[in-house]
């Protein structure tokens, strides 16, 4: 079993499985986010955030999620280094754009840009909620329970900064592009594909990418339009 992690297929399978894990996280995250738009009083979103911050299962999964990200990034770097080394002399002329999609050829660059976005995003919200604090987070009462006003923090950022709105829309689009290839490729890497399913994964991958990109972009667009 020890040769598994160093083998090309083993590494790719772990990339795929960690990818699935991150995809499931995206689904939960998007569902929670949409509460911002669904309830303009912010109470539902605050309740969801309070649940996330206090639920013991979510508390246990948080470090696992961080580990999932680290594994995905570490293996991607390892694979990319090996792949670059596999062709020491480059072609003078090649037709890469003609035989593979742009996203599939630039997954590492897309991933790196998403990581930059993720760090910015963590600094904007997670860091303030967990450690630094923010005056906007002053306690609020929802249905008799005292909790942090996360809605005020999120809406405050988007209401006061068009630049951040644009950055968050860009983040959603980058994530979508990464998923147009990543979604189907994860199934291929763990061997769950064949003549019929590869077409289905390709279609589902694009659909999922659009849902994620549009879904996450709805929130900044909502505030840009002055609806929140």
Partner 1 sequence: MSDKILKELTLKIWRQKDAKAKGGFETYKIRDISGGTSFLEMLDILNEQLVGENKEPVAFDHDCREGICGMCSLFINGRAHGPDDEVTTCQLHLRRFKDGETITIEPWRSGAFPVIKDLIVDRKAFEKIQQAGGYVSVTTGGVPDGNAIPVPSEKAEEAMDAAACIGCGACVATCKNSSAMLFVAAKVSQLALLPQGKIEAARRAKAMVAKMDELGFGNCTNTGACESECPKKISIEHIARLNREYLKAKLQE
CB of 119 to partner 1, least distance (A): 24
CA separation, residue 154 to residues 36, 129, 143, 166, 197 (Å)? 9, 11, 21, 14, 40
| Nearer to partner 1 (CB atom), residue 8 or residue 145 | 8
CB of 22 to partner 1, least distance (A): 17
**Of 168, 134, 136, 129, nearest to 152 (Cα)?**
136
Does residue 90 bind partner 1 (CB under 8 A)?
A: yes
Our finding on whether 93 is near partner 1 (CB under 8 A) is yes
Binding mask 162-201 for partner 1 (x = CB under 8 A): -------------------x--xx--xxxxxxxx--x---
Establish if 8 lies at the interface with partner 1 (CB under 8 A): yes
- Smallest distance, Å, CB 136 to partner 1? 43
Contacts of 9 (CB under 8 A, 6+ apart): 189
Q: Which of 55, 101, 145, 160 binds partner 1 (CB under 8 A)?
A: 101
Give the tokens for residue 7.
């083998």
Tokens 């909790």 correspond to 147
Q: Is 98 in the site for partner 1 (CB under 8 A)?
A: yes
What is the per-residue DSSP string for 86-106?
Answer: T-SS--SS--HHHHS-HHHH-
Q: Is residue 13 at the binding interface for partner 1, with CB under 8 A as the rule?
A: yes
Closest CB 64 distance from partner 1, rounded Å: 22
User: Which residue among 99, 143, 226, 227 contacts partner 1 (CB under 8 A)?
Assistant: 99
Contact 45, 154 (CB under 8 A): yes
133 binds partner 1 (CB under 8 A): no
| Closest C-alpha to 79, from 163, 12, 175, 160 | 12
CB of residue 205 to partner 1, shortest distance in Å: 11
Of 57, 60, 87, 227, the residue at the interface with partner 1 (CB under 8 A) is 87
Phi first, then psi: give them for residue 145, nearest 5 degrees. -110, 135
CA angle 27, 30, 31 (to 5 degrees): 85
Q: Which of 22, 36, 107, 175 binds partner 1 (CB under 8 A)?
A: 107
Residue 39's Cβ-side half-sphere holds a number of Cα atoms within 13 Å equal to: 14
Residues that bind partner 1 (CB under 8 A): 1, 3-4, 6-13, 79, 82-83, 85-96, 98-101, 104-105, 107, 181, 184-185, 188-195, 198
């Amino acid at each position: 079993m020890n040769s598994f992690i160093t083998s090309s297929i083993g590494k790719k399978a772990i990339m795929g499985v960690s990818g699935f894990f991150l995809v499931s996280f995206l689904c939960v995250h998007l569902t929670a986010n949409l509460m911002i738009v669904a309830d303009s009083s912010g109470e539902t979103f605050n309740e969801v955030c309070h649940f996330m911050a206090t639920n013991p299962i979510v508390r246990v999964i948080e470090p696992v999620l961080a580990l999932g990200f680290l594994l995905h990034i570490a293996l991607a770097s390892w694979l990319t280094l090996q792949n670059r080394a596999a062709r020491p002399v480059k072609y003078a002329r090649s037709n890469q754009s003609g035989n593979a999609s742009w996203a599939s050829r630039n997954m590492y660059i897309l991933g790196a840009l998403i990581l930059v976005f993720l760090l910015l995003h963590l600094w904007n919200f997670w860091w303030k909620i967990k450690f630094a604090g923010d005056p906007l987070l002053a306690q609020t009462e929802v249905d008799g329970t005292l909790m942090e006003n996360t809605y005020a923090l999120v809406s405050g950022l988007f209401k006061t900064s068009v630049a951040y709105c644009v950055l968050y829309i860009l983040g959603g689009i980058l994530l979508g592009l990464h998923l147009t290839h990543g979604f189907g490729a994860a199934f291929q890497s763990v061997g769950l594909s064949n003549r019929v399913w590869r077409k289905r994964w390709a279609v589902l991958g694009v659909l999922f990418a659009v849902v994620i990109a549009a879904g996450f972009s709805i929130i900044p667009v909502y505030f840009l339009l002055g609806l929140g």
